[in-house]
Chains A and B, each alone.
Chain A
Amino acid sequence: MEPLRKTEKDIHPMDDLLRMDRIPHIWCPGCGIGTAVTAFAAGLAKAEIDLTKTCIVSGIGCTGRVAGYVKLDSFHTTHGRAIAFATGIQVANPDLKVIVFSGDGDLISIGGNHFIHAARRNINMLVICVNNFIYAMTGGQVAPTTPLATYATTSPFGCVEPPFNIPYLADSSGAVYVARWTALHVRRLTNSIAEALKKPGFSVIEVISPCAMYYSRINRLGDGLDMMKFYHDNTEIRHGEDTKNLDIGFQTKIIVGKFVDRERPTYMDSYNKWLSGTKKD
């Protein structure tokens, strides 16, 4: 195989943010996780934050491999515990900006408890949750975000469980910034990531991504490009929409936008305030 870099001209502008010894990545052709990572790298460049004080934490799964590909201080944790590890990093060193980049099966299913409690405490971190509606790495099992009546490997007659609505879950648990975009809305996703990186508190960005090998193959939805065309025709941008109305059904309209942007004292702020108050007495 030819070397990927032949001359100086063959260096992609994002190569300095990636661990080039691990590229090409393992994601399938037509997958949207790579697009989310590109938007994340562009958002980091746009926010102009200090990359030496930024770290990224991932769990297990397809999206869980992001921490291995991004050249920041990165941490690849056990399944579902990405937010728990990120909480530890944030509390031990409050100067760091912690980014949790993981999938729906990791963050909402096995790590659901950590998700709601980190949102309740309002720990200063940005959670980017790539939602592809399925456990893709293990072979297409039903995830807590799988829409009703969707076929999956473990639901051959259609999924009967109502799915989680991630923005509603984050909003009701107390997140300060909640947005949802698809892998097609790369510009808006980039701007949203850059905005959320500067916001103190628990921010959640849900990225809806095509899964070309499992979700769309089992449900006969075509390849990744067909899913992107579906997002193009069936998404509606509604900023400030009530998060109750954001349920996603099987091939129904997807509402995207920035839903919540509010101020709450973060965990470290209230902790330090409380501590200084008690020490005075």
Chain B
Amino acid sequence: MKYWEKPFGKEKPKVPNGEIHILKERCKGCGFCVEYCPKDVLEMSDEFNTKGYHPPKIMNEEDCVNCGLCETICPEFAIWCTLKEEVALEN
């Protein structure tokens, strides 16, 4: 059993980077995902969907850490994120 971590040559911690998918036609524009995204990736857009609501748009997708909060807080099942890649943390 190992009690300590390997001190040298250890891999750098990795940060996940997510890809956000939005189903714009399902959105009702409540703004929960935009308000509570911890990395402020989303923003309300000016465009309309066919129901006349403003769906969110992606501002800076490289900041997304694939936490999945938007997926869980969305009442309309209209947004989710998937893991794109894991980026090693810079020093």
Residues of A at under 8 Å CB distance from B? 1-2, 4, 9-10, 12-15, 18, 23-25, 27-35, 37-39, 42, 184, 186-187, 190, 212, 223-225, 228-229
Contacts and interface: CB of A to CB of B under 8 A. Distances in A.
A34 B72 contact: no
A4 B21 contact: no
B37 interface: no
A225 B21 contact: no
A225 B35 contact: yes
25 contacts: A1-B25, A1-B50, A2-B25, A4-B23, A10-B21, A12-B23, A23-B77, A24-B26, A27-B75, A29-B29, A29-B30, A29-B53, A35-B73, A35-B74, A37-B75, A38-B75, A38-B77, A184-B36, A186-B69, A223-B30, A224-B30, A224-B32, A225-B31, A225-B32, A225-B35
B interface secondary structure, majority: loop
B58 interface: no
Given A15-B77, A18-B77, A224-B30, A187 B25 contact: no
Contacts of B25: 1-2, 4
A181 to B, nearest CB: 12
Residue from A33, A34, A225 whose CB has the most chain B CB atoms within 10 Å = A34
A32 B28 CA distance: 13
B75 A228 contact: no
Given A1-B25, A190-B72, 5 more contacts: A35-B32, A35-B75, A38-B71, A186-B69, A225-B31
